[in-house]
Amino acid sequence: MAPSTTPTKIPSLQIQRQQRRLLQPLNSPKHKRVSASLPAALLQDFFTADDAAETSRHLKVREAGRRASDETLAVHAGEKFTDGAVVVGTDSIATPVVSGTTHWFKNSEDLIAFKEGRRQSFEYGRYGNPTVKVLEDKISALERAEATLVTSSGMNAIVATLLALVPPGGHIVSTIECYSEARTFIRDRMGKMGIKSTFIDIDEDMESFLKDVLDQNDDVTLFYADSPTNPMLKCLDIRRIAQLCHQKGVLVCIDSTLASPINQKPLTLGADLVLHSATKYMAGHHDVIAGCISASEALISKNAAYMIIRGLKTMALRVEASNRTALLMAHLLEAHPKIDRVHYPGLESSPWHHLAKTHMAGYGGVVSFEVKADLHGTMRFIDALEIPFIATSLGGCESLVQQPAGMSFWGHTDEDKANNGISNNIVRFSFGIEKFEDLRDDILQALDRI
């Protein structure tokens, strides 16, 4: 098992939402510990399908999930043993690979129901993907965890965890024999961020060393180590370490790669986090790089690479079409009596027009504009549109429309929205490659409906 030579990936904003999900139970000193008495409690969480829609068959399946062994969970958790099939939206036995990056909403009420958790769905690929969710749920079942984050490599999982759980100026305790690239990252990269690190020798009297370090340093927030270690296969007393650490409010994260979830479940021993290089046992065929956090994503990555190559071949045609439509529409909207203001660098009225003229060959397909209406009037305009999807993201063949106050800034305070220049009546339109005249007519008829 050679150490990876993959360059360390600093986690991007890409995983923030998922990180939040992962860390929610862990952030507070009184973080909710995963119960060792799962899977019953755990699987209850899995089956939070809408009660009204639940059939007796569903109940039977739920029961089966509660009793299931690891072998059976590995096959069915996240799929038959959940409402996963509903999420993915097919009856296919093989897990469908959902490659779409953005998901659309039927209307504003549909969006709000999703935002308020009344409807289970997905918004944007960076926040969650149906196929990846199946994988995450399966790993959660095997680890007796409440949630799992799938990342693009084991190293990515490590870096994401360390950065999320050790604050700038904080202190991390690890072992000399933790995975070498993790150690380098902790020592060199985190060191540059002013984060202190102490590496304990497993061979010495580890327990008393750890106790001393924790007694003498009240800035420690995380204990991070492999068990078993690579390659010497030394094992930690996770239960004892967790006891010592928890007395001081320190979280425990175990890299359990060498064990696999079949052989060891650190959460049931008291650890707060467990991570894996899923490249190893979890994927198991030497053909995927993933963290506990991404066998499926690796599959999707391959797909995505193919699709990007295909997409690049038509990129110039698509971008030119969007540029043209957006510029025409920006002019038209600027002159429309129901529009307060149009934001588009292709307009002479834009404060960035002169700069854009020198920097850009075209001004792009996204136009933002302020409708003469309040939050609900603007929603009425959006709901009256027939061609674009109500969805976040931009740059695709299909036109997309969104009201930031109801989408990316949903739930933000008025002050926060104001600080970001987001008023309730702003609409962001990403023009696709549909015919300009059709989009124009659609927008004009929708404006009439405000």
Ligand X SMILES: Cc1ncc(COP(=O)(O)O)c(C=O)c1O
Positions that interact with ligand X (CB under 6 A)? 1, 3-4, 6, 153-155, 179, 226, 230, 255, 257-258, 277, 279, 289, 291
* Matching residue, tokens 């999900």: 21
Taking CB positions, which residue lies at the least distance from ligand X? 154
Rounded least distance, CB 40 to ligand X, Å: 30
What are the strands of the beta sheet with 339-343, ordered from one edge?
339-343, 366-371, 426-430, 400-402, 389-390
Closest to ligand X by CB, 43 vs 253, is 253
CB 147 within 8 A of CB 22: yes
Rounded least distance, CB 5 to ligand X, Å: 9
Q: How many CA atoms lie within 13 A of 121 on its CB side?
A: 18
Gap between the Cα atoms of 330 and 213, Å rounded: 62
Closest to ligand X by CB, 172 vs 258, is 258
Closest to ligand X by CB, 175 vs 325, is 175
Closest to ligand X by CB, 279 vs 392, is 279
Rounded least distance, CB 176 to ligand X, Å: 14
Report residue 91: phi and psi, to 5°. -100, 15
Rounded least distance, CB 9 to ligand X, Å: 9
Distances (CA, A) of 351 to 303, 345, 367: 40, 8, 15
| Strand positions, DSSP E, 303-347 | 339-343
Rounded least distance, CB 254 to ligand X, Å: 10
Report residue 427: phi and psi, to 5°. -120, 135
Closest to ligand X by CB, 6 vs 99, is 6
CB 47 within 8 A of CB 62: yes
Gap between the Cα atoms of 106 and 169, Å rounded: 46
**DSSP tag of 170:** -
Rounded least distance, CB 363 to ligand X, Å: 40
Rounded least distance, CB 183 to ligand X, Å: 11
How do beta strands 339-343 and 273-275 pair? unpaired
Closest to ligand X by CB, 159 vs 366, is 159
Amino acid at 344: Y
Gap between the Cα atoms of 233 and 409, Å rounded: 48
Closest to ligand X by CB, 233 vs 307, is 233
